[in-house]
Amino acid sequence: MELKIRELRESDWETLVSWWSSWEEWKTHPPKEILPMNGTGGLIIESDGQPIIAGFLYLTNSKIAWLEWIISDKNYRNENKKEALELLINSLESIAKTTGAEMIFSVGKNKSVLNAHKRLGYTIDEDPSYEISKKI
């Protein structure tokens, strides 16, 4: 199974929404308006033409980038899903580096995503913190 990476397109939106809806941990999907480039500021990994995992990258006016909203096809069952997740993280990190970012930040609680970050050399704070947000 060959993995391919590409930029997100407007036509991917309904696929992403269906993925978010299929995972119990997600109460709802993030609105396009809060995502980078209105929902296209990220990457998607495909296996033999089938989209399987995606994530977003926020670029800032500082030397930090924010990798967020990683979501996958819950029904995709293949041994290369772990490899696809690592390819996604590494590719988003690569984009961040090319823009001058010196640090990448992410928030997560999914064990697979946390373990992938650990394997790729990220520091995981063992003391839980809270996601704090407010719609203004």
Domains and CATH numbers, the chain: 3-119 (3.40.630.30)
Q: State the Cα–Cα distance between residues 25 and 7, nearest whole angstrom.
A: 25
* pTM: predicted TM-score of the whole model, two decimal places: 0.90
Tell me the per-residue pLDDT of 64-88, one tens digit each, with 9 for 90 and over: 999 999 999 999 987 789 999 999 9
Cα 44 to Cα 64, 77, 84: the distances in Å are: 22, 17, 9
Tell me the per-residue pLDDT of 32-76, one tens digit each, with 9 for 90 and over: 999 999 999 999 999 989 999 999 999 999 999 999 999 999 999
The set of residues, in sequence order, having a beta carbon less than 8 Å from that of 90 and lying 6+ positions away, is 120
Place of tokens 């924010």: 66
- Give me the chain's average pLDDT, please: 92
